[in-house]
Every structure is written in C-alpha cells, then in structure tokens.
C-alpha cells in the first residue's frame, strides 16, 4: 500500500445527491420511496415493524432515516435513491477469476459492498456511467499504459473527480501511481482485510466531502 503520507489526497467536492443523514420522513414520503399506499406505511409504523415517533400533540408520524434504511434492508426492499448512502459500490477492472474471487471474499455484500466487473477500459467507461461506483479497483496486469489511461480518463470527467481509484500491482507501488490519478495502491498478494478497511475509509471520506 502506498504510505499514508502520499496516499491521502484531497477530493473536489461535487454535488452527488447524497442526502442529509439527519433527515426524517413523513409516512407519505416513505410510501413514495417504497411504492406503497400511505396507509400501508401507517400499518408498518403502528405495528412496530417500522420504527419512528409521533409529533407531540398530533397523530403525524415521522420516520428517521436510519430506521427506514434498516427496515428496507431487513425486508429486501429496493433502496432507490438511498442506495448510494447504504452501499459501497465497487467496479473492478481487469481482474482474472482468482483475483476476483479474493476480492469477493473480502468485499462482501453482507458488509455493504456491491461489486461489478469490467474487462477493458472501454467497458469500464460504460460501467462507470451506469453503475456510478464509489470506488474503482484497477488491476495493473491489464497493462500499465491502459490502466493509466483509464484512471486519467476518469479524472477528466466531472462525475468521477472524487471517485476512489485503487491500483493492484505486482510491484511495490511508488509515487508515480498517484500521479496517474490513483488514491492508493496495493501490491499483490495483498491483505484482503486491510484493502477492505482502506476502501471503506476512503469511500467514507468521499461521501462526507460530498454532503
């Protein structure tokens, strides 16, 4: 991994639609998110399945964001616009089957990771536009020149100025990795738990910057 003294880079703050973590919802707003009738949400609330509180002196219900997210996840319901807040979306570029297996073992959906793959720079560009990843992991085995071009092309896009870029390399990474636009790099074979924690920390910082 590139040392912290050089791997911490500032991120441009871009509007991303990440919503205020303190927000609370009315039953009508929850109904729109869940695509159900407001009375259904009221039933969830009154039965205790969906936690929240009533406005003092009225019958109006309010559902804090964290309780709504927990309810949606527990019941396997689509998160819609809230998905970006819950999941760390990772696009993996150029990884072979063994490497992809290792990444899946360490970046599990149960730990709020979502993974998609791309085999080339062209496919990575298409996936990045549709998947909107928080982090893109590029295996330098795809070719150093192509990997560098992918990173630089992403950094030219306003949509990916703050996307976390991680390089996986067979050699000890140096400062030149950062000059290509990467946030950090790991030498293969790497410690999967360290990679997971590093990615979580970088994505958390990214999302905090974007609020």
pLDDT for residue 69:
84
Co-location of 77 and 89 in the same domain: no
CB-facing half-sphere around the CA of 93: CA atoms within 13 A: 29
Co-location of 34 and 54 in the same domain: yes
Co-location of 166 and 110 in the same domain: yes
Q: Provide the domain count of the chain.
A: 2
Q: Which of 42, 62, 82 is the last residue of a domain?
A: 82
Co-location of 114 and 49 in the same domain: no
pLDDT tens series, the chain, 211 aa: 654 433 333 333 333 333 344 478 899 888 888 888 999 999 999 999 999 999 888 888 999 988 898 898 888 887 776 766 667 899 999 999 999 999 999 998 777 888 999 999 999 999 999 988 999 999 999 998 999 999 999 999 998 999 999 999 999 988 889 899 999 999 999 999 999 999 999 998 887 776 5
Co-location of 139 and 61 in the same domain: no
In angstroms, rounded to a whole number, what is the distance separating the alpha carbons of residues 122 and 166? Answer: 18
Domain of 131, CATH number, reads 3.40.50.2300
List the domain range (segments joined by +) for residue 44: 24-82
Co-location of 154 and 184 in the same domain: yes
pLDDT for residue 185:
95
pLDDT for residue 211:
58
H-helix or E-strand containing 25?
strand 24-25
Per DSSP, which regions of 65-170 are E strands? 88-93, 113-118, 135-139, 164-169
Interhelix angle 27-34/65-74, rounded to 10 degrees, is: 30
Q: How many CB atoms lie within 10 A of CB 68?
A: 23
């Amino acid at each position: 991994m590139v040392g912290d003294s050089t791997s911490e880079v500032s991120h441009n703050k871009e509007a991303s639609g990440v919503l205020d973590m303190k927000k609370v919802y009315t039953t009508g707003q929850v109904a729109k998110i869940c695509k159900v009738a407001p009375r259904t949400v009221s039933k969830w609330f009154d039965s205790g399945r969906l936690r929240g509180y009533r406005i003092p002196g009225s019958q109006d219900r309010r559902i804090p964001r964290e309780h709504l997210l927990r309810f949606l996840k527990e019941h396997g319901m689509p998160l819609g616009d809230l998905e970006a807040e819950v999941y760390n979306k990772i696009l993996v570029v150029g990884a072979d089957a063994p490497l992809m297996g290792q990444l899946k073992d360490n970046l599990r959906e149960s730990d709020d990771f979502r993974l998609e793959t791309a085999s080339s720079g062209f496919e990575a560009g298409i996936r990045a536009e549709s998947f909107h990843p928080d982090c893109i992991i590029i295996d330098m085995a795809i070719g150093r020149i192509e990997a560098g071009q992918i990173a630089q092309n992403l950094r030219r896009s306003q949509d990916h100025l703050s996307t976390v870029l991680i390089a996986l390399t067979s050699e000890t990474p140096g400062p030149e990795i950062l000059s290509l636009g990467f946030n950090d790099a790991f030498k293969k074979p790497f410690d999967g738990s360290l990679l997971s924690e590093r990615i979580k920390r970088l994505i958390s910082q990214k999302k905090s910057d974007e609020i």
